[in-house]
Structure 1
Amino acid sequence: MDLSNCQDWMSSLPEQLWDIPLTDLAIPGSHDAMSYCLDINSPLVRSESDFLRIMDGLFYCLTRPTIFKWSTTQVQCLA
Structure 2
Amino acid sequence: MTPPHLPPRQFLLTAEPGTRVVVRYRIEEGLTDALGYLVAVNGNSCTVRTRTSDVDIPLAMVIAAKQVPPPPPRRSPVNRP
TM-score between the two structures when normalised by the length of structure 1:
0.26
> Which structure would you say has the larger RCO, counting Cα contacts within 8 Å and 6 or more residues apart?
1
Structure number having the greater strand percentage:
2
TM-score, structure 2 normalization? 0.25
Write 1 or 2 for the structure with the bigger share of helix.
Answer: 1
